[in-house]
Amino acid sequence: MRARLALPIALTAAISVAATACQSSSEAGAGPDAKTPTSASGAADYNPTPYDKLKDGGTYTTAGTFDDQGNPFNVNSTLTATRVWSWYNANAITFSPTGEVQYNPDYFSDVKVSVKGGTQKVTLTLNKKAAFNDGTPIDWTAIKATWKANNGSDKAYAASTTEGYDQITSVTRGKDDKQAVVTFQGVYASWPSLFSTFLHPKAAKVDNFNKAYVKKAHPEWGAGPYTVGKWDTHSGDITFVRNAKWWGKRGKLDKRVYVNLESTAALNAFKNGQLDYVTPGDAESLKQLKGLKGTEIRSGGSPFEYSLRFNTKSPVLGDKAVRKAIQESIDRTQIAKIQFQGLDYKEPLPGSALFYSFQKSYKDNVSAVLKYGPEQAKKELDAAGWKPGSDGIREKDGEKLEIGYTLLGDDPLGKATAGALTAMLKPVGVRLTIKKAADTDFASVLNERKFDLILSGNRSMDPFGARALCEFYCSDRESNLTGAGSPALDKEIRATADIPDLDQQAAAANKVERKALRNYALLPLFSGPSTYSVKKGLANVGATMFYSPLPETVGWEK
């Protein structure tokens, strides 16, 4: 199944990524009496291999392409674009699979964090050799430019998230140009998420930030062990090659190739040996891939979540009573069974858009505000003036209670999910009309809010879930695709960002999320594992959780 990821979590908003796929059945392989675990899988499975155990050379090929907006800081960017970006731009801060911060010495030779008088300062000393491909030194001005483009002070920037950047009061030159001193208003505990990558000062100019990366790469503004070798804008295929201007560890691969293929074509290409990994989209796909000579299945946890989003700006869904009734009519357990059918995997129903059940900060906020109850939904629709018509579909003021559901692509699980939702809502008196759209229409459907209901997901790029609270629920954020919220709730949401202790901040964020979920505009449905079918010997690729292996560490075992 192609994951359709829509909202920014940390740095990314995303679509169609090679990570979630084979989710398994609540019945299969576990027996009818098997109990649902208390948390989703938090395991990683990616064949971790030291750099010196990798052979020099080889090509790594997967399905994927460059999405319309290639700047990961832009609100219209996707996870696919973020991953492509990482192959020819800085990877300065990464996280371990479980979320521990890792500084890349090829970019940051030293990092110091201090708090004095309640004010946090982060001093970033940049590698003396670090330079963009056009020769511009990577220095304090890149950190400053990245901050200015994302802090929300200039509304002309279509920034994915201002969270955290808006708590920085200054970025100044340190002892020399190679040192940036970042000063915060108060303490911002999850600051590493802000500078995991950064922009060339030219790329941070407003027109370039918004438009320069639209269907275009800018390798001259990039940096890293690889750079763009060939970019076919017609086919969408991309080839990365070693970067002669790279000062750090040499990339092990000769080439990194993305081939633009839909999920079915990608499955066949993998079976024919043309791709090095693929994500099986359902149980049948996994069955075809299991046991293929020279391949193996890698499956682990997944910091992904899929939610049903309600466009509160569409006429019927502007009524909160209607949204609540629809959510009460949806049996999330049945949706999960469809997604997990035929695979040996179980997880509890997700209760938050911020945290995952394998994280200590997680709380089941959905259950606190919503109970499955079609009969209750009928009563609420009656009270809201929606009366059953002669055909069973409710009416009010001559208007039918008819809701559109946008189905992207031809994925079998997507079709099955749409069918299940239709069947669940019909007895309550709601007609769900399936509106089909191509995968390639994903960005325009979401960004222009051309939907009533849509299923999409998000991948967390870092473990700081509370940081995403405003991106999901603030009424004044483009990234809040539902359009729900209020200035009063926005104020409560933003107040959580000022809490210096991560545990206390998470607790506050959970409380506010419960209030936000009472707008009944977003309903978490499932997460599932990350499952890959991979050619044997491919190292540092697979279910990595919060970890993003550095490009130079990806390759083939000796």
Pick from 144, 235, 228, 315: nearest CA to 551? 228
Q: How far apart are CA 548 and CA 75, in angstroms?
A: 21
Assigned token pair, 278: 């693929």
- Identify whether residues 356 and 485 lie together within a single domain: yes
Cβ neighbors of 333 (< 8 A, separation 6 or more) are 26, 349, 372
Pick from 271, 265, 370: nearest CA to 328? 370
Assigned token pair, 355: 């945290």
pLDDT of residue 22: 30
Q: How far is CA 308 from the centre of its chain?
A: 15
Domain with 72 in it = 51-93+228-300+531-556
Q: Which residue has the tokens 């989003």?
A: 309
Q: What share of the chain is helix, strand, coil (3-state, %, to 5)?
A: 30, 25, 50
- Is 500 contained in some domain? yes
Q: How far apart are CA 213 and CA 233, in angstroms?
A: 12
- Is 20 contained in some domain? no
Q: What is the pLDDT of residues 99-113, one digit of tens each?
A: 899 999 999 999 999
- Identify whether residues 68 and 112 lie together within a single domain: no
Residue 9 banded pLDDT, cuts 50, 70, 90: very low
Half-sphere exposure of 336 (CA within 13 A, CB side): 22
- Is 217 contained in some domain? no
532 φ/ψ sector (left φ>0, alpha ψ -120 to 50, else beta): beta
State the CB neighbour count (10 A cutoff) for residue 112: 11
Kindly state the DSSP code that residue 455 receives in the 8-state scheme: E
Q: pTM surpassing 0.85?
A: no
Compute φ and ψ for 228, nearest 5 degrees: -70, 125
CB 280 within 8 A of CB 289: yes
- Identify whether residues 326 and 277 lie together within a single domain: no
Mean pLDDT over residues 518-537, rounded?
94
- % of residues, the chain, pLDDT over 70: 94
- Is 356 contained in some domain? yes
The yes-or-no verdict on residue 114 having pLDDT over 60 is yes
Compute φ and ψ for 389, nearest 5 degrees: -90, -175
- Identify whether residues 235 and 313 lie together within a single domain: no
pLDDT of residue 214: 92
Residue 33 banded pLDDT, cuts 50, 70, 90: very low
User: Which residues are 534's β-sheet partners?
Assistant: 277, 296
Structural domains of the chain, count: 3
Mean pLDDT over residues 24-53, rounded?
68
Q: What is the pLDDT of residues 249-299, one digit of tens each?
A: 999 999 999 999 888 899 999 999 999 999 887 788 889 999 999 999 999
- Is 276 contained in some domain? yes
Domain of 463: which CATH number? 3.10.105.10
Q: Which residue has the tokens 């031809």?
A: 410
Pick from 459, 473, 467: nearest CA to 521? 473
CB 71 within 8 A of CB 533: no
pLDDT of residue 27: 27
- Identify whether residues 240 and 133 lie together within a single domain: no
Q: How far apart are CA 412 and CA 434, in angstroms?
A: 14
Q: What is the pLDDT of residues 343-402, one digit of tens each?
A: 778 899 999 999 999 999 999 999 999 999 999 999 999 999 999 999 999 999 999 999
- Identify whether residues 140 and 171 lie together within a single domain: yes
Q: How far apart are CA 349 and CA 526, in angstroms?
A: 6
Cα 112–116–120 angle (5° rounding)? 55
Compute φ and ψ for 338, nearest 5 degrees: -60, -45
Mean pLDDT over residues 458-475, rounded?
90
- Identify whether residues 103 and 205 lie together within a single domain: yes
Domain of 75: which CATH number? 3.40.190.10
The yes-or-no verdict on residue 130 having pLDDT over 50 is yes
Domain of 119: which CATH number? 3.90.76.10
